Structure formats: structure tokens, C-alpha cells
Amino acid sequence: ETGVTQSPTHLIKTRGQQVTLRCSSQSGHNTVSWYQQALGQGPQFIFQYYREEENGRGNFPPRFSGLQFPNYSSELNVNALELDDSALYLCASSSRTSGSEQYFGPGTRLTVT
């Protein structure tokens, strides 16, 4: 069984640019959630996708957007990057059979300069 994978591992962008992060969910999982973890903090919920539709959103501005594809993989897009967007972005997948348990990927470390 393949776990959750994320790409790229690390990314450096300049303020004002746009970035796309990718996540492949664990086999059989149809729900993907994205979290932002600033240095020294706990992860913060960005949004969740279920069956290609947004299914809940945290307190993040509209320049954070996402997609989920028919194979349940997902993208997180961030426009007009700001310095405070520098963080570890974590993707978690789950399914009806996993219930409330979410399985996390290794994350993408984004640095905005």
C-alpha cells in the first residue's frame, strides 16, 4: 500500500509569485486535507477536498486555492506569495474506512524570499 506522497520536497519562491504543491493520497483514500505549519507551530487547517469538491475551509484567504482530481490526488495553489507563507505544507488523506484517522505525507517546505 502506497502512503501519502508530496512534491516537491523543498521550494524557494519570491514574494508575489505563485506556487503549486502536489499531493498523492494513500491508495483507496478519497479525501485530502491540507495544512500549513509555520516554524515552531502546530499545523493549521487550510481546506479539505472530498470527491473533487471543497469540503470545508479554514481561516485562509482566497489566494489559497486547491483542486482534487478524479484519482483523488490534489493540488494546493497559492497566489501572490507573501513572506508569511513560508512554512511546511502538509497533506493528509483519509477515507470512509479510515474514519476520522488522517494519514500525513512528508510535507513540502516552502520558503518565500
Q: Please, what is the minimum distance in Å from the beta carbon of residue 75 to other proteins? A: 19
Which cell is 51 given? 470527491
Cα 18 to Cα 36: distance, rounded to the nearest angstrom = 16
Cα 19 to Cα 61: distance, rounded to the nearest angstrom = 15
* Under rule CB under 8 A, residue 65 binds other proteins: no
Q: What character string, x for contact with other proteins (CB under 8 A) and - otherwise, covers 42-61? A: xxxx--x-x----xx-x---
36-49 b/e with 16+ CB inside 10 Å = b? beeeeeebeebbbb
Question: Of residues 26, 66, 86, 105, which one binds other proteins by CB under 8 A?
Answer: 105
Residues near other proteins (CB under 8 A) are: 31, 33, 35, 40-45, 48, 50, 55-56, 58, 88, 90, 92, 94, 96, 98-107, 109
